[in-house]
Structure 1
Amino acid sequence: MNQEALIEMIDYTLLNPIATKEHIQIFCQETITHGFKTVFVNPYYVSFANQLLKDHNIKVGVPIGFSLGGATTKVKVAETVDAIDNGAREIDMLINLGALKSKEYNVVKYDITEVVKASQGLVTKVIIETALLTQEEKKIACSLIREAGADFVKTATGFNGGGATVEDVELLRSVVGKDFGVKAAGGIRTYDDAIKIVKAGANRIGTSNAIAIITGKTGSDSNNNGY
């Protein structure tokens, strides 16, 4: 896979909780320089990043229910609406892990469905934290996500242990089928990592290491964590 094709698949990410406006400015300039198409920042910085990137055809995405997933549906919906009002154009929500572990599958599905509705047709991805789930729970989560109308299943936040593995991506792809999105995030740090993950079935990569992946050099990644 050439560099241009890989760049198209990368969501460049800066979710460090102590990132400053200066960090965001550097991050956005790197995004412009290297041609990434989508960035993810915390809700507080969505409006600021959007102002910096709106003239460059670069989308600003936002995590919802981050990074534990335990917020109520009402809160996740409000967070989604606010983010869109501030310029967010993609939504990555964290599944209700407690409800999933409790086998309250109707709650999990409702939670996703309501955020999908609030997303107003924007691409919506659902993070399941694969490292915290059994194989069966991963399969169930994938099925619920499809039924709820989301666009992607996503491996991990990168904040709660574990990350994307070839085996997990292969499993998620086998469950959701070839026409559904699989986003791999967490621990993808090199070009070789990225290629292995894509070959396993991912069609989107979330990473704070995007510059290292495509060039072998570091950028604002040293100011980041997660993803």
Structure 2
Amino acid sequence: MDDVPERVEHTVLGPTTTPDDVRVCLDAAIQHGMRACIPPCYLPLATDYANVPLVTVIDFPHGQGGVSTACRAAQRAWDDGADELDMVCNVGLLKAGEDDAVRDHVSEVVASVPVPVKVIVEAPLLTDEELHRIGSLVAEADAAFLKTATGFSEGGATVHDVEILSQYRPVKASGGVGSWAEAEAMFEAGADRIGASSGDVIVEEWREQHDGAAPAET
């Protein structure tokens, strides 16, 4: 596995995130060859500051906005330079059995932009049956990825959840992944990406354990 850095999305999404926090995140992404996941309000700053693949979030962290609002936010994020979007699904609608509404919401956001859309499903809040349902709905909506969690609810990524979700779409394991050992377990379970505020730690530990890996540029 020699492409780990480009499969890691170094993340800063907390409610107190400042412009300087974003710059630090971008510096780490540049140094280690990672992607960066940042709040949408900082996309203009990021596109001026660094040439790294940029991911941002839509309807974060609860996914309870309207469809038209989410579509407008997605379009604005793309206009501002986002290369990929991570939207939050409406867990309440899923639990209420309103599968058509969940699928249609995702489908409309996907159709509103020409960039990949990942769907954050808050796996820690879902039963196995619900994980299978949301996996199928997201696939039907033609989203590019499933993402395990926001990191701002109950728990984060688990091997079990990744194994289920990866049956339906490529998976971004996010929430509580703070070391290379944890990231490696997610990759082995079927994850294609890792989202983590400790992305730099993950890549550094991976390099330390792989003989012949090129050192990070400084």
Query: How far 1:16 sits from its partner (Å)?
Result: 1.5
Q: Do the aligned residues in 1 keep the contact of 2:63 with 2:90 (CA within 8 Å)?
A: yes
Q: Secondary structure at the match of 1:203?
A: strand
Q: Deviations over 1:128-162 (max 9, x none)?
A: 00111111111000000000010111110110111
Match of residue 124 from structure 1:
117
2:47 aligned residue (36, 47, 50): 50
User: Match of 2:201?
Assistant: 212
Secondary structure at 1:159 match in 2: coil
Deviation at 1:46, TM superposition (A): 1.1
Runs (5+) with no aligned partner, structure 1: 217-227
In 1, Cα distance between equivalents of 2:92 and 2:24:
37
Deviation at 1:50, TM superposition (A): 1.5
> What corresponds to 1:148 in structure 2?
141
Letter in 2 for 1:92: D
Q: Determine the C-alpha separation between the residues in 2 that align with 1:129 and 1:25.
A: 28
Q: CA RMSD in A?
A: 1.3
Distance 1:24 1:172 in 2: 30
Pairs within 5 Å for 1:91-110: 91-110=85-104
Q: For 1:49-75, what per-residue CA distance to the aligned partner results, in whole angstroms no more than 9, with x for missing partners?
A: 111123xxx211111110001111111
Q: Is the 8 A contact 1:91 1:119 kept in 2?
A: no
3-state SS of the aligned residue for 1:164?
Answer: coil
Contact 2:9 2:37 in 1 (8 A): yes
Contact preservation (8 Å) 2:38, 2:56: yes
CA distance in 1 between partners of 2:24 and 2:89 (Å): 31
TM-score where L is the length of structure 1: 0.88
Q: Which residue of 1 aligns with 2:79?
A: 85
Letter of the aligned partner of 1:30 in structure 2? Answer: A
The 1-side partners of 2:145 and 2:18 are apart by 29
1:190 partner letter: S
The residue number in structure 2 matching 1:72 is: 66
Q: Indicate whether 1:28 and 2:26 are aligned.
A: yes
| Match in the other structure for 2:37 | 40
Secondary structure at 2:50 match in 1: helix
Any conservation in 1 of the 2:156–2:176 contact (CA below 8 Å)?
Answer: yes
Deviation at 1:193, TM superposition (A): 0.3
Letter in 2 for 1:23: D
C-alpha deviation, 1:17, in angstroms: 1.5
**TM-score normalised to structure 2 length:** 0.91
